[in-house]
Homo-oligomer: A and B are copies of this chain.
Amino acid sequence: MGISLRKARTIIRKTLEKGREMELKPLSVVVLDAGGHVIAFEREDGAAPGRFAIAHGKAYGSVMLGMAGTAQMQRAEGQAYFMAAVNGVYGGQVVPVPGGVLLRDRKGAVIGAVGVTGDTSDNDAAAAMAGIEAAGLAGEI
């Protein structure tokens, strides 16, 4: 099962709604498919111009490694040179912190990832989970 554009839109809208409800800074949200390719992205008014790359980096590392943001952060904290090397092999496109959330189907297979950036990493992840749940999917922070 892939993620339809319809579902990606729901994830993004509900993530942004949650951000406003939590009174977070302007958020940027990307949804990637199981190959790490962009399905949809939105950057709220007032967010810094470079936010696509950060949101993408959180989600891209999650899909490519099959490891969500929190697990990547733990690895980076324990073995920084490993995540630096990972970033090298993936062309510098990995941002290993929370806000990168893996999407799984009912059998647990990875079907994509969501990347959120704009506030603290933990708030980014919380907003993402609200969007993912609203779309009827399971997320791994």
Chain A interface residue number, banded: 35 or more
From known contacts A56-B89, A88-B92, infer whether A43 and B50 are also in contact, taking CB-CB under 8 Å. Answer: no
Tell yes or no: A38 within 8 A of B by CB: yes
Chief secondary structure at chain A's binding surface: mixed
A138 interfacial contact with B, CB 8 Å: no
Q: Point out the residue from B4, B86, B90 that lies within 8 Å of A45, measured CB to CB.
A: B4
Is A136 an interface position by the 8 A CB rule? no
B40 contacts A88, CB within 8 Å? Answer: no
Question: Are B38 and A35 interface neighbours, CB within 8 A?
Answer: no
A-B contact pairs, 12 of them (CB 8 A): A5-B45, A33-B35, A36-B49, A37-B52, A40-B43, A41-B41, A49-B66, A50-B66, A57-B85, A81-B83, A82-B97, A91-B91
